[in-house]
Amino acid sequence: MKNRALRTVTLAVAIASLAGTAACGSDGSTGRASGPVTIEFWGWAPGYEKSVELFNSTHPDVKVTYSKISPGAKGGYTKLLSAVKAGNAPCLASVGFETLPTFAAAGALQDATAETAPYAKEYVPWAFAQSGVAGHTYGLPVDIAPMALVYRKDLFAKYGIQQAPKTWAEYAADAATIHAADPNAYIGYFGNDAYNFAGLAWQAGAKWFGTSGDKWTVDLDDPATRKVTAFWQDLIDRKLVKVVPSFDSALYKGMGEGTILSDVNAVWDTPILADSVKQTAGNWAVAPMPVWDAATPAAGNAGGTPNAVLKGCKHTKEAVEFAHWFGTDQASTGNLIKETGIYPAALTGLDNPALAEPNPFYGGQRIFDVFKDSATHVDPGFQWGPVMTKTSGALADGLGKAGTGTTTLDAALADTQAQTLAEMKTQGMDAG
């Protein structure tokens, strides 16, 4: 049997830069800067511009200038890291939960622990915790991304399935039923999105990364994740799910034609799907994602973003105050729910009226009710690692190859573990 003992690496690189920034606040202190200040903010999500405009119209002492950049994985993060290195980075930027430890390890973040502390209890606890690493907080969360099952209710009924599967065992049984009735139809698909797979592992109880003293623990192929790989490998081998790249045009073609009947994905995927298969409006519904044990339901999370303070910011206090307003103000949150498709990380946002609006694409369903329940079943103990760019790239490559049969999911996990540890060593993190 494979040795699955936890691997550890030092956190030295992740915290080395903190000594010079921990005491830095507004203009080098934790007090408010004198006179009006300007905060530069970079991000990419739709709707952010409007929230910035709302802030500027009601806060004459602080002006926020917003620059839209490419999404993080498509060059935005590289641009941000380059700007930090060049000394011309914005004060605040969107940095996903999964990437924040990588920015910390690169010394690209500014400690905002003192400035964020007063707001800690106003957010979903695990989301606030993931806005920092190694005891230091770098920003405040905007959203979380609980997962659910989005499915063609009409086509499920056509194949004799009157309700969405509640467990993964039911999902597999329904997959067999659908494909037996029509060899061109599949209950869902297997893609190559590393973070979606991470959400599945998160639901199963995986603990890919952790900290022990001043060390990271790394165990990407733990037993919980192996349970997930065994399940999906079986569906792939039996050809009960369609293998197609995540977010590919072929995926939406299949969904539009009615040959791919569902998607297990995060809340932010619901507007993407609605925009991609407009011709099927009214036929879709949202249900809780299938669970492993109906007696102890759990949900995964695939995404979520804090607005983080970058190294060199001279107005940390004001930047944090804006970040807090951005994610808690009812008008701002309502805008972000409608335009960006977020599920708020702020506790006050959970009562925003925009979450209660019926969605015509999903048959008039109040879909956020499903995500609200799912969010209560997300394990707060999941953590991301310090080299997620390498980790996610290796995993996505492995998932793609496993889908086409050139490797297995278990082998992909082992390779991702090896590449992650190798990258840590390359960055000066000694493996233990």
Domain ranges of the chain: 15-144+304-356, 146-300+383-426
CA dist., res. 90 & res. 108, Å (int) = 11
Mean predicted confidence (pLDDT) in 10-19:
44
Q: What percent of the chain has pLDDT over 70?
A: 91
Q: Which CATH number fits domain 146-300+383-426: 3.40.718.10, 3.40.190.10, 3.30.499.10, 3.60.20.10?
A: 3.40.190.10
pLDDT higher than threshold 50 for residue 146 = yes
pLDDT by residue (tens digit) across 46-98? 999 999 999 999 999 999 999 999 999 899 999 999 999 999 999 999 999 99
Torsional class of 304: left (φ above 0), alpha (ψ -120 to 50), beta (otherwise): left
Q: What's residue 35's pLDDT?
A: 64
- The number of C-alpha atoms within 13 Å of 51 and in the hemisphere containing its C-beta is 28
Q: What's residue 209's pLDDT?
A: 93
pLDDT higher than threshold 90 for residue 8 = no
Q: What is the DSSP string of 337-369?
A: HHHH--EESBGGGGG-GGGGS-BGGGTTB-THH
CA dist., res. 364 & res. 47, Å (int) = 23
Q: What's residue 134's pLDDT?
A: 84
The amino acid at residue 405 is G
The answer to whether the beta carbons of residues 242 and 190 sit under 8 Å apart is: yes
CA dist., res. 321 & res. 351, Å (int) = 21
SS3 425: helix
pLDDT higher than threshold 60 for residue 213 = yes
- Give residue for tokens 């408010």: 32
Higher per-residue confidence, 230 vs 74: 230
Would the CATH topology of 15-144+304-356 be identical to that of 146-300+383-426? yes
Note the CATH number of domain 15-144+304-356.
Answer: 3.40.190.10
Per-residue CA distances from 124 to 85, 178, 310 (Å): 32, 38, 23
Nearest to 413 by CA among 198, 99, 105, 102: 198
Residues 6+ apart with CB under 8 A from 120: 128
Higher per-residue confidence, 14 vs 136: 136
**Token pair belonging to 313:** 């910011």
Instruction: Read off the pTM.
Output: 0.91
The amino acid at residue 200 is L
- Give residue for tokens 């037993």: 223
pLDDT by residue (tens digit) across 324-349? 999 999 999 999 999 988 999 999 99
Please give the DSSP secondary-structure letter assigned to residue 27.
T
Backbone torsions φ then ψ of 277, nearest 5 degrees: -130, 55
pLDDT by residue (tens digit) across 254-280? 999 999 999 999 999 999 999 999 999
What's the pLDDT band for 432 if we cut at 50, 70, 90? very low
pLDDT higher than threshold 50 for residue 184 = yes
pLDDT higher than threshold 70 for residue 11 = no
Residues 6+ apart with CB under 8 A from 169: none
